[in-house]
Amino acid sequence: MNYIKIEIVDSLPVIKMEYEDVIAFQNLMFCLVSDSGFGLVYKSIEKQLLENNKKDELEVLSALISLVNKESQYLFSKDKPQNKNVINPSSFK
């Protein structure tokens, strides 16, 4: 069985993984970082919350997803103002 499990232990996230081989590990990582994988994780959590009638948790999830979407649009926007406090990668040439 291949899985990634996230638990909160003493207020800190703990990630546990189990996978069969390097290909399974690669698939887990691609799932985590891909847009479709992110959507799958979100939809799975949303489904569980809906099934358990967790309205407050759904509001938190919705707010967080909205924030993530807004930030990712800003990060990849060509019209964003240049922040002079950020180190430019070309500074390391």
List pLDDT tens digits, range 26-63.
Answer: 988 888 888 788 888 888 899 999 999 999 999 999 99
Structural element, H or E, at residue 39: helix 35-51
Q: Which of 31, 28, 30, 32 is nearest to 17 (CA)?
A: 28
Length of the chain, in residues: 93
Whether the CB-CB separation of 50 and 59 falls below 8 Å is answered with no
Q: Which of 37, 40, 36 is nearest to 28 (CA)?
A: 37
First to last CA, the chain: 45
What are 14's strand-pairing partners?
Answer: 7
Percent of the chain surpassing pLDDT 70: 75
pLDDT in the model for residue 67: 84
Mean pLDDT of the chain: 82
Asked if pLDDT for residue 1 goes beyond 60, the answer is: yes
Percent of the chain surpassing pLDDT 90: 35
